[in-house]
Amino acid sequence: MKDQRLHIADIVRHIDDATLGALNVPEFQRKYVWRASKLADLVDSLWREYPIGTLLLWESSYDSPQTAKGDQGRKLWIIDGQQRVTSLALLFGRKPYWWSDANQRNKYYDRYDILVNIAKDKNALEFGLPNPVRRKSKEWVSVRAVLKSPNLSALSMEISKDLANHELFAEIHEKLQSIKKIETAQLYEIIVDHELEDVAEIFARLNTAGTKIRESDIVIALVAAKQQGWIRNKFDPFLKDLESKGFEFDPGVVVRTFAIIGHGVARLRDVPEAFWEPSDQFDDTWRKTKEAISAVIKHLMEYGIVSSDLLPSLNALIPLFVLRAFFPNDFNIKKALHWLLVATRDGRYSGSAITVLDQDTRQIRTKHDFDEAIDDLTSPLTAQLDFKPEDFLEDYADRFLRLVLYLTVFNAEAKDWMSQDVRLGFDREDNELNEGFKPEWHHFFARKLVRNAFPDQVDSIANIVVLNEKANRSFSSKPPREYLKEHNVSRARLDEQAIPPDDVLVVDKFEQFLKQRSELLAKRATAFLQGLDQR
């Protein structure tokens, strides 16, 4: 283990110049999450000469798809301090070369251009975020512009001219010099040279109250080390493609599916390291994994599940992916969706998810066909296959019941309450499924109308209808009969969402409304679920 001190300016130079050989981030550090306000606080701390913590760096021969070609210098990977280092890059207007393209840098560039109020006392300068008012003000100056300026005298003269007061030149120059000193602030670095698994463990222990390193993060790092460019060119683009379809998966979901399909285990530490090395088996497993995930998502979308946000558990999708990979010719989406809903209701993966996943997916591999495998997965489940009216009197915060409500409405081919001619979840222009559609949960009786008289029932599932965003905003908190009449919502639209007859659509009959609608929803949900079960 080594240690050293570097000036902030030296660290920044190593951020965007690969030929210097220094700083990069391993693949288990994947996202920049700091808010701009936190960068403003960092700048204020540097200006006040407050300590801003220590960088933990890893000196290793570990290679990465992000490393610039031809880089022969030693590699120092940022294990702890990525957020601070990336923030410093933005402060100085640099693009970290571990960001694959300029678009990512441009996304943050203007928003993270910290400003300083140069009119404040020299001992109490104020740092803040850019906004239209501050951008127009002559008193607010870009810190980035100060740090990048080759001539503070010229910049001071320009600012004093803008303020129409040349007598301020000396005072402004002194303030700019104090800001420029940020470049020479020192940051303490600790450098370790341990193996990859040890480094991940070090990171995990340092971040016990923050970012956690998971098995899948270590695997991603291992693959990146063994197959240069694979994460960047194949894995990440696939995740982005899924996200564009409305399914934003944690990388671990895909990695675990990959391990099960290729090696038969969900517990990643049981997969030998050699499995992640370049081979025909690796390439074939990746092809099967992508094909299975894409096919299952396409099937789910046909039933209205057009966004991962609708699903209470993404781990429950992994057995479906594995089923599709092993039985592509007789995979039955109806039976698969039926199992998914029953397993979710049963809380199959709410506890020790990895242990249960390992058990279930090992069983899949031993079966001869899809039907045998799905029967085996279903046998340990104890959840009821039918719904009772009281289920829909539960709070709509219950994500499973909310999903069932949505599927029931979608299965009834419910149409939008504004246009009344396009199905929910479909695009209006081409009447095709809207990938990534996120339904709005609208209180049929507005909360303010009934919460005082019925505080425990106002948020019942039975008081929720599924709308798109525009309709939800338009109906606002008006009484049902009023907004339904105002927007000419037909009885056909109400029937699609199991809304009871008009005589109970008034506040003083709210309890009767809930009773009748919960009964209707229970019947429809049970019929929908039974319709999926073809055994």
DSSP 335-380: HHHHHHHHHHHHTTTSSSHHHHHHHHHHHHHT-SSHHHHHHHHHTT
The one-letter amino acid code at 411 reads N
Domain presence at residue 106: no
What is the CA 113 to chain-centroid distance, rounded? 25
Question: Exposed e or buried b for every residue in 387-424, given b needs 16+ CB within 10 A?
Answer: bebebbbbebeeebbbbbbbbbbbbbebbbbbeeebbb
Dihedral angle computed from the Cα positions of residues 269, 274, 276 and 281, in that order, rounded to the nearest 10 degrees? -120
| CATH number of the domain within which 36 lies | 3.90.1530.10
Q: Which residues contact 2 (CB under 8 A, 6 or more apart)?
A: 59, 190, 191
Domain presence at residue 211: no
Say yes or no: 166 and 193 in one domain.
no
Nearest to 324, CA basis, from 365, 384, 370, 275:
370
Domain boundary (378, 412, 434) is at 378
Strand order in the sheet with 126-128: 126-128, 115-117, 140-142
Nearest to 463, CA basis, from 493, 501, 499:
499
> 53-57, 83-87, 189-193, 522-526: which has the highest mean pLDDT?
522-526
The residue whose two tokens read 């299952």 is: 296
The residue whose two tokens read 């092993």 is: 326
pLDDT exceeds 90 at position 79: no
Q: Tell me: the pLDDT tens digits for 416-447?
A: 888 778 888 887 666 677 776 788 899 999 99
The residue whose two tokens read 């020479």 is: 184
pLDDT confidence tier of residue 533, bands split at 50, 70 and 90: confident
Say yes or no: 62 and 128 in one domain.
no
Given the DSSP bridges, would you call strands 75-80 and 23-24 parallel, antiparallel or unpaired? parallel
Q: What is the pLDDT of residue 69?
A: 40
Q: What is the pLDDT of residue 1?
A: 58
Q: What is the pLDDT of residue 290?
A: 97
CB 286 within 8 A of CB 347: no
Residue 2 pairs in a beta bridge with 191
3-state secondary structure of 229: coil
Report the C-alpha gap between 515 and 471 in whole angstroms: 25
Which of residues 410 and 229 earns the better pLDDT score? 410
Q: What is the pLDDT of residue 517?
A: 97
Kind plus residue range of the DSSP H or E element containing 55: strand 54-60
pLDDT confidence tier of residue 100, bands split at 50, 70 and 90: low
Residue 443 pairs in a beta bridge with 464
Say yes or no: 262 and 399 in one domain.
no
The residue whose two tokens read 């109806």 is: 334
Say yes or no: 403 and 509 in one domain.
yes
Report the C-alpha gap between 262 and 274 in whole angstroms: 12
Say yes or no: 348 and 487 in one domain.
no
Say yes or no: 151 and 189 in one domain.
no
What is the CA 95 to chain-centroid distance, rounded? 23
Say yes or no: 394 and 484 in one domain.
yes
pLDDT confidence tier of residue 70, bands split at 50, 70 and 90: very low
Domain presence at residue 108: no
Domain presence at residue 284: yes
Domain presence at residue 411: yes
Q: Is 81 left (phi over 0), alpha (psi -120 to 50) or beta?
A: left
The residue whose two tokens read 């140069």 is: 118
Report the C-alpha gap between 297 and 435 in whole angstroms: 11
Domain boundary (350, 378, 406) is at 378
Count of C-beta atoms within a 10 Å radius of residue 31: 8
Say yes or no: 189 and 45 in one domain.
yes
Structure tokens at 533: 């079960």
Q: Tell me: the pLDDT tens digits for 436-491?
A: 678 889 999 999 999 888 988 999 999 999 988 777 677 767 889 998 998 899 99
Domain presence at residue 132: yes
Say yes or no: 336 and 325 in one domain.
yes
| Region 40-49 average pLDDT | 93
The one-letter amino acid code at 63 reads D
Between the alpha carbon of residue 394 and those of residues 153, 343, 391, 530, the distances in Å are 68, 19, 6, 22
Domain boundary (378, 404, 435) is at 378
Say yes or no: 156 and 238 in one domain.
no
Report the C-alpha gap between 363 and 350 in whole angstroms: 19
3-state secondary structure of 386: coil
Q: Tell me: the pLDDT tens digits for 315-349?
A: 899 999 999 999 999 999 999 999 999 999 998 88
CB 127 within 8 A of CB 43: yes
Q: What is the pLDDT of residue 67?
A: 44
Q: Tell me: the pLDDT tens digits for 356-377?
A: 888 898 889 888 999 999 999 9
| Region 188-193 average pLDDT | 78
Q: Which of 50-54, 88-92, 148-152, 490-494 has the lowest mean pLDDT?
A: 50-54
Q: What is the pLDDT of residue 129?
A: 92
Domain presence at residue 251: yes
Which of residues 507 and 221 earns the better pLDDT score? 507
Largest interatomic CA distance in the chain:
88
3-state secondary structure of 31: coil
Q: Which domain holds residue 519?
A: 389-532
| Region 179-204 average pLDDT | 76
Q: Which of 14-28, 84-98, 101-115, 186-200 has the lowest mean pLDDT?
A: 14-28
Structure tokens at 86: 């990336």
DSSP 152-184: HHHHHHHHHHHTT-GGGHHHHHHHHHHHHGGGG
Which of residues 135 and 23 earns the better pLDDT score? 135
Query: How many domains does the chain contain in total?
Result: 4
Count of C-beta atoms within a 10 Å radius of residue 331: 20
Report the C-alpha gap between 195 and 448 in whole angstroms: 59
Domain presence at residue 128: yes
Q: Which residues contact 350 (CB under 8 A, 6 or more apart)?
A: 313
Say yes or no: 159 and 176 in one domain.
yes
Nearest to 521, CA basis, from 394, 405, 396:
405
Q: What is the pLDDT of residue 535?
A: 53
Say yes or no: 332 and 475 in one domain.
no
